[in-house]
Chains A and B, each alone.
Chain A
Amino acid sequence: QVQLQESGPGLVKPSETLSLTCTVSGGSISSYYWSWIRQPPGKGLEWIGYIYYSGSTNYNPSLKSRVTISVDTSKNQFSLKLSSVTAADTAVYYCARRGYSYEAHYYYYYMDVWGKGTTVTVSS
């Protein structure tokens, strides 16, 4: 079964760039959308953005100016870069797959596979 694993530095200095990678195992990165979601301490889930295996992307407008998501199909990985970080970017970062189901002539979507999450702290 498909599994996701986030990796990257757990501590980032203010104003620097946060970089995380999600490795997909047990299946191919092809034919799916892949997403990053984060959760600040004690708060709810925030969608950051997604990438299709072909490279097309879409980002949360509130983060769009600082976010880049990329994919490396040869390594079965996709990555997140968030620039100019502040303490407000301290969070658990999750990667997830957008699954789909075809029912009654429509495609329905959902996040069906999640990584365990990685904690990133922004501090000097």
Chain B
Amino acid sequence: IQLTQSPSSLSASVGDRVTITCRASQGISSYLAWYQQKPGKAPKLLIYAASTLQSGVPSRFSGSGSGTDFTLTISSLQPEDFATYYCQQLNSYLWTFGQGTKVEIK
């Protein structure tokens, strides 16, 4: 199963609403997770089951979708949110990541 994220990168300002999409090559129900990665650090789990916020993650992050189309939304971008975001499917016995979306400061 391939995951295609869009856009590959985006520039945004603090306070902006940001949306990242992830499309699966076949249906994966809600078996999708989102991660945030900052330079030199391991990825951090944000959302699983497409829309469930991991404990401790700020509520400005939200996820939606099922089947093949998913979105990660940051309602009001904060300085600490500038990072690269990855989706991952764990529906099949072969796991895959999207190619990543880099969120940069405008």
Contacts and interface: CB of A to CB of B under 8 A. Distances in A.
B96 A114 contact: no
Interface string A27-51: 0000000010100000011110010
A101 interface: yes
B54 A112 contact: yes
A110 B90 contact: yes
Nearest to B48: A110
A35 B27 CA distance: 23
Interface string B16-58: 0000000000000011010101000111110011001010000
Interface in B69-101: 86, 88, 90, 93-100
Interface residues of B, number: 25
Given A45-B86, A94-B42, A60 B94 contact: yes
Interface in A3-59: 35, 37, 44-47, 50, 58
B100 A115 contact: no
Contacts of B48: 101, 108-110
Given A44-B99, A47-B97, A117-B42, A111 B88 contact: yes
B72 to A, nearest CB: 14
A98 B97 contact: no
A124 B30 CA distance: 45
Interface of B: 30-31, 33, 35, 37, 41-45, 48-49, 52, 54, 86, 88, 90, 93-100
Interface of A: 35, 37, 44-47, 50, 58, 60-61, 94, 96, 98, 101, 103, 108-112, 114-117
7 contacts: A44-B98, A45-B86, A94-B42, A96-B42, A108-B52, A110-B48, A110-B49
